[in-house]
Amino acid sequence: MTQAPIRVGIIGVHPDRGWASTAHVPALQELPQFRLSALSHSRIEVAQAAAQKFGFDHAVSSTEELVNHPEVDLVVVTVRVPEHLKLVTAALEAGKSVFSEWPLGMNVRDAEAMNELAAARGVSTMIGLQTRANPAIRHVRQLVGDGYVGEVLSASVIGSGITWGEEIEEAFRYTLDPSNGASMLHVPFAHTMDALGFALGSEFLSVSGTLSTRRPAIRIAESREIVPLTVADQIAFSGRLESGALVMSHFRGGLSRATNFHMEINGSKGDLLLTSPVGYVGVGGFNLSGAQAGENLHPIPVPGDFGPEENVLIGNVKKLYELFAADKQSGTRQSPTFQSAVNLHRLVNAVEQSGGVWRNV
């Protein structure tokens, strides 16, 4: 029998801007497994305008109305990280399934609390680790699982944060406050380490890191205001996976004029190389290459990869929703859950605890 669509309620949708309207709504509009049921905004006229523009059935002006709406099965939280704990908790207490963007919370404690509440309520959860759904990452996982590289010996990663360079948009000023849990360490670096662990099919067993703030200040793009850069713009990381493989990584703020993203997996029988001119694993634009004994490095096609005209950000979100719908229908667990988020929060926390931030002037 055909299952009824999952009715979605999204918190904080604006008709003209924001991650919800940029990625989540376009992704959901293409999926018959879901129905755009309700959205909220603190100003009812904005909510109504967004509902009319995107085709939602209902518009409300408060989180309480949305999470308790009888025609909402899945609550989606895409607002800034400092608001996650309050909003996710409200949805869970209403007995609704929740999709929260990453990071789940501002710290490990908040993430653990939300995960425990979800388990107690017996509801489904999903965390926005979209790169696990990216075709290139999933193909690397399949190749590794099929033995293309043999035993994974090590992995090396270079990444660029895109933001946290010479300037930053006003909308992201809040990421400069370390307590908000949305810095380069928490977002692009964390996304990349999660994708790497997923691709290699192994969790991190131990990690250490060194955090440094090399730029004393950063410019606000719109106003040209110069403000202190109070989070790390350089991350040196090493870790060991449960498989025994060693991982080394260096992340830099901004963009490089040379290499922006390079993930190399070295194995006993072969090697894989994933690159992108963009900066980090969450943005896409990947080129995958590989080689086994006696071969030169050569391109490897990615089945189902996004074409040059497709929006990778929307595509990643769409594929994550597809995994969630499949899990609900068949009882599988392909999509990342709040437990996945807790594990990643613990990794980030371990890096923070092992290497303090200082400013070089």
Q: How confident is the model at residue 3 (pLDDT cuts 50, 70, 90)?
A: confident
Q: Which helix (H) or strand (E) holds 338?
A: helix 338-354
Question: Which residue in the block uniquely carries the two structure tokens 């926390």?
Answer: 349
pLDDT at position 358 over 60: no
Q: What is the pLDDT of residue 360?
A: 37
pLDDT at residue 359 is higher than 80: no
Torsional sign, CA 17, 58, 80, 173 = positive
Q: What residues have CB less than 8 Å from 215, skipping those under 6 apart?
A: 165, 166, 229, 233, 253
Tokens of 183: 């810095």
What is the tens place of the pLDDT at every residue in 125-144? 999 999 999 999 999 999 99
Q: According to DSSP H, which parts of 30-134 are helical?
A: 44-54, 63-67, 84-93, 108-121
Q: Indicate whether 357 pLDDT > 70.
A: no
Token code pair at residue 44: 């009812």
pLDDT tens-digit profile of 175-200?
999 999 999 999 999 999 999 999 99
Q: What is the pLDDT of residue 306?
A: 79
Q: How far, CA to CA in Å, does 341 sit from each of 96, 187, 209, 261, 337?
A: 18, 12, 20, 23, 7
pLDDT at residue 174 above 70? yes
* All structural domains of the chain: 6-128 (3.40.50.720), 131-354 (3.30.360.10)
CA dist., res. 67 & res. 53, Å (int): 21
| Mean pLDDT to the nearest integer, 62-91 | 97
CB atoms within 10 A of CB 346: 15
Distance between CA 258 and CA 161 in Å, rounded? Answer: 14
DSSP, collapsed to helix, strand or coil, labels residue 177 as coil
pLDDT, mean over the chain: 94
Higher pLDDT, 306 or 213: 213
**Residue 263: other Cβ atoms inside 10 A:** 26
> Under a CB-based contact definition with an 8 Å cutoff, are residues 347 and 198 in contact?
no
Cβ atoms within 10 Å, residue 251:
27
* pLDDT for residue 304: 86
More confident residue, 361 or 96: 96
Q: How far is CA 181 from CA 81, 264, 319, in A?
A: 7, 28, 26
Asked if the model's pLDDT at residue 241 lies above 70, the reply is: yes
Q: Which residue has the tokens 């901004």?
A: 254
List of E strands, the chain: 6-11, 34-40, 58-60, 74-77, 97-101, 125-128, 152-160, 167-168, 204-212, 217-220, 226-228, 234-241, 246-252, 261-267, 270-276, 287-292, 298-299
Tell me how far CA of residue 114 lies from CA of 75, 117, 271, 347, in angstroms.
14, 5, 39, 17
